[in-house]
């Protein structure tokens, strides 16, 4: 029995020393900090896909593996660039490339909205919103759903890309590598990752077009969905944008 425990311990130790581990029950590879900042054994961002996850009614985009891969690569690129800057400029405050959490995302969106409305310089500039498709449903007054409705509407008012992908758990894994569940992530800066950002947004646009083409018969039902207010695909007598 002791020999078996010792072997298990050594196996886990070797796994940790290699810098990677597999989260139990998720099948998602977690990349170590050394790999994120570009160590000698740096590996590509893991491909993350999930089957059978709950999909909420606010999702107006096909959930594809391509979108999952695009967002995973983008977030890992943002983390790597931020970590490199922390090393190159020790002691200096490095601006964040993204923020996550409903409250943080809403704070940055409201700041940008106020600055646009009052013609002020935009110091906080949200570039895109990444949202998990399985955020828990809380419909009471002041619940999560009321915040989601407001956030999605503000993004569409500001013509910001909205990308639905992964799940709360897996979005947390790629954004923090600590297993924390994340509902929303707002991209603030993507300097040095322009190609990854463009690829993620364009892939999501294709998936969104697929969704609306497959749901032409449900247009009126979708128009009544409070989470989809402001969608250009649901404008009266509008055709699917090209």
For every residue of 80-101, DSSP letters joined together read HHHHHHHHHSTTSPPPPSEEES
Residue 91's pLDDT is what?
81
The contacts of residue 108 (CB under 8 Å, 6+ apart) are: 99, 124, 126, 186, 188
DSSP annotation of 137: P
Sign of the CA dihedral 62, 66, 68, 70?
A: negative
Question: Which pTM was predicted?
Answer: 0.73
Sign of the CA dihedral 156, 150, 121, 83?
A: negative
| Number of domains observed in the structure of the chain | 1
Q: Is residue 206 part of a domain?
A: yes
Q: Is residue 242 part of a domain?
A: no
Task: Return d(Cα 177, Cα 126) in angstroms, integer.
Answer: 23
Q: Is residue 27 part of a domain?
A: no
Each residue's pLDDT tens digit in the chain (242 positions)? 445 555 554 444 444 444 433 333 333 333 433 343 344 334 444 333 444 567 899 999 999 999 999 999 999 999 998 888 888 888 888 888 899 988 889 988 887 655 555 555 555 588 999 999 999 888 787 788 999 999 999 999 889 999 999 999 999 999 886 768 999 999 998 988 999 999 999 999 999 999 999 999 999 999 999 999 889 898 876 455 55
Residue 139's pLDDT is what?
79
- SS3 state of residue 126: coil
Q: Is residue 198 part of a domain?
A: yes
- Here the CATH number for the domain that contains residue 64 is 3.30.1330.30
Number of C-beta neighbours around residue 23 at 10 A: 14
Residue 2's pLDDT is what?
47
Residue 171's pLDDT is what?
92
Q: Is residue 201 part of a domain?
A: yes
Domain that holds residue 45: 33-234
Q: Is residue 2 part of a domain?
A: no
Residue 42's pLDDT is what?
40
- Report the length, in residues, of the chain: 242
Q: Is residue 114 part of a domain?
A: yes
Number of C-beta neighbours around residue 122 at 10 A: 11
Nearest to 20 by CA among 4, 2, 39, 3: 39
Q: Is residue 87 part of a domain?
A: yes
């Amino acid at each position: 029995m002791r020999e078996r425990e010792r072997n298990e311990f050594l196996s886990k130790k070797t796994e940790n020393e290699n810098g990677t581990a597999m989260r139990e029950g998720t099948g998602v590879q977690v990349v170590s900090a050394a790999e994120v900042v570009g160590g000698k054994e740096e590996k590509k961002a893991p491909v993350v896909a999930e089957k059978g996850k709950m999909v909420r009614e606010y999702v107006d985009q096909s959930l594809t593996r391509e979108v999952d891969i695009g967002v995973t690569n983008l977030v890992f690129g943002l983390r790597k660039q931020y970590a490199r800057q922390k090393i190159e400029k020790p002691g200096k405050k490095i601006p964040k490339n993204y923020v996550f959490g409903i409250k943080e995302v809403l704070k940055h969106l409201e700041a940008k909205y106020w600055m646009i409305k009052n013609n002020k310089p935009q110091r906080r500039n949200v570039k895109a919103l990444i949202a998990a498709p399985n955020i828990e449903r809380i419909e009471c007054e002041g619940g999560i759903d009321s915040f989601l409705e407001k956030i999605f509407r503000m993004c569409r008012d500001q013509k910001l890309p909205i990308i639905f992908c992964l799940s709360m758990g897996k979005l947390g894994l790629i954004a923090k590598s600590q297993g924390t569940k994340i509902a929303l992530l707002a991209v603030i800066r993507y300097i040095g990752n322009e190609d990854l950002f463009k690829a993620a947004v364009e892939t999501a646009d294709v998936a969104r077009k697929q969704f609306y083409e497959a749901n032409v018969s449900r247009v009126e039902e979708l128009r009544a969905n409070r989470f989809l207010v402001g969608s250009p695909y649901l404008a009266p007598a509008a055709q699917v944008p090209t």
